[in-house]
């Protein structure tokens, strides 16, 4: 599964812009990035029009790895930007975890981010295998070392692949933004009384609800709910980048359709901690992914960090016959069936449903190239689809 998240998908950002960014690959595990810097129109200054609020050069909607990486890179290039995030807090759910060589090469340009990821990740011997088994303590059907020598030998790339949870990567990127002078604002009272968004701000709890393009700029209407009431802000920018995930509001507001295969599989994602299980797997069968088949349960376990006992369990989900609430009461039982024995220290952090798609946006650019889709907003893809197809559909009732 080696689940990865989308990083950047950008096309040419206007012929007369300061920055033209081209990207070919579309996930955190396979980022291909090059840019050229042409002095044609200054994007480094926010300038007012007719006495109104200044126009931001770039406004980014969505503070996942895509939006945060883009904001770091633009700031380092001297392009002023700001970020709006719908959620009031960053997710603690591990989500994506595999970062390949090309992405790590880009991270080298982000003030040592690649080196920090390599220092912080689990030892390679803890995550280089996929294991197929009847339970985590039962018979092993087979195991595969999914790493290639070129992933580590520094011949193809000067930096190795990595296994590092998305929320940890997000945290490191936020630290970088702060070092670059960004202010991450999540204080409800201050947000409610702040009528505009200025450069080098990451404002939490702001949802994009409308986009109005014009010849010279884009106006974004954002709403914030706090202190028992809501407020709205109009933010003007030269370019708007939608990095707001698979359910992208920016994409929907622009009327951009997705094409491909939808609703391939519905799953429940269970984030839990068990030091007991982590230590057992380190000693007996270390791996990144565990595909588990038995008569009582089926699932895929992602070992995000065996040292910390941090896991995400993916379980097939069949609504409307099943409800999310059904799993809340049975999840400890399901985990133990897949482990093959009871665990004394299971701590379930959260349970979330998600849907697997294989779709690409019909356009990545809109409104005269002033609105750009990036990351999962531009495409939604299944992790290692062929492996998942064989695993799930061979067991479907």
Q: Are 142 and 289 in contact (CB under 8 A)?
A: no
Q: Could you tell me which of 329, 296, 334 has the C-alpha nearest to residue 315?
A: 334
User: Any idea what DSSP says for residue 128?
Assistant: S
Percent of the chain with pLDDT over 90: 66
Query: What are the pLDDT digits (tens) for 341-389?
Result: 999 999 999 999 989 999 999 999 999 999 999 999 999 887 754 444 4
Query: What are the pLDDT digits (tens) for 259-284?
Result: 999 988 999 999 999 999 999 999 99
Give Cβ neighbours of residue 196 (< 8 Å, ≥ 6 apart). 53, 233, 235
Query: What are the pLDDT digits (tens) for 65-110?
Result: 989 999 999 999 999 999 999 999 998 888 889 998 888 999 999 9
**Which element (helix H / strand E) includes 277?**
helix 275-284
Domains 19-96+166-257+362-384 and 123-147+264-356 in one fold: no
For 19-96+166-257+362-384, CATH gives 3.50.50.60
The two tokens of residue 270 are: 């269970």
Q: Say what the pLDDT of residue 16 is.
A: 34
- Cα separation, 116 vs 98, in Å, equals 15
- Cα separation, 95 vs 93, in Å, equals 6
Establish how many alpha carbons lie within 13 A of residue 93's alpha carbon, considering only the half-sphere containing its beta carbon.
17
Q: Which of 107-111, 146-150, 188-192 is predicted least confidently?
A: 188-192
**Rounded to two decimals, what is the model's pTM?**
0.83
The domain locations on the chain are 19-96+166-257+362-384, 123-147+264-356
- Cα separation, 55 vs 278, in Å, equals 50
- Cα separation, 113 vs 312, in Å, equals 24
Architecture of domain 123-147+264-356: 2-Layer Sandwich (3.30)
């Amino acid at each position: 599964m080696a689940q990865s998240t989308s990083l950047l998908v950008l096309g040419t950002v206007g012929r007369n812009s300061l920055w033209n960014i081209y990207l070919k690959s579309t996930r955190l595990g396979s980022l291909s990035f090059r840019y050229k810097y042409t002095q044609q129109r200054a994007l480094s200054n926010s300038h007012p029009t007719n006495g109104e609020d200044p126009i931001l050069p770039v406004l980014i909607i969505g503070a996942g790895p895509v939006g945060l990486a883009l904001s770091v890179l633009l700031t380092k290039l001297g392009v002023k930007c700001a970020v709006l995030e719908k959620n009031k807090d960053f997710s603690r759910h591990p989500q994506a975890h595999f970062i390949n060589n090309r992405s790590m090469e880009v991270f080298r340009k982000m003030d040592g981010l690649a080196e920090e990821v390599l220092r912080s990740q689990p030892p390679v011997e803890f995550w280089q295998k996929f294991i197929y088994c009847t339970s985590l303590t039962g018979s092993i059907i087979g195991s595969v070392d999914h790493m290639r020598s070129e992933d580590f030998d520094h011949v193809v790339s000067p930096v190795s692949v990595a296994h590092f949870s998305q929320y940890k990567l997000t945290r490191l990127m936020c630290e970088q933004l702060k070092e670059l002078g960004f202010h991450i604002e999540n204080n409800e009272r201050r947000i409610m009384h702040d009528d505009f968004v200025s450069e080098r701000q990451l404002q939490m709890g702001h949802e994009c609800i409308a986009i109005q393009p014009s010849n010279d700029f884009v106006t974004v209407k954002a709403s914030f709910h706090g202190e028992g009431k809501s407020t709205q802000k109009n933010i003007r920018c030269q370019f708007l980048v939608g990095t707001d995930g698979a359910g992208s509001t920016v994409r929907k507001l622009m009327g951009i359709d997705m094409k491909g295969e939808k609703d391939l599989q519905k799953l429940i994602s269970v984030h839990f901690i068990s030091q007991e299980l982590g230590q057992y797997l380190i000693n007996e069968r270390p791996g990144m992914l565990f595909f588990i088949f038995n008569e009582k349960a089926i699932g895929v376990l992602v070992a995000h960090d065996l040292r910390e006992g941090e896991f995400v369990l993916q379980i097939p989900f069949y609504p409307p016959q099943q409800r999310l609430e059904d799993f809340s009461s049975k999840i400890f039982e399901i985990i133990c069936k897949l482990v093959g024995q009871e665990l004394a220290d299971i701590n379930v952090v959260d349970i979330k449903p998600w849907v697997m798609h294989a779709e690409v946006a019909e356009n990545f650019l809109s409104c005269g190239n002033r609105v750009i889709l990036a990351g999962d907003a531009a495409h939604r893809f299944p992790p290692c689809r062929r492996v998942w197809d064989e695993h799930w559909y061979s067991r479907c009732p």
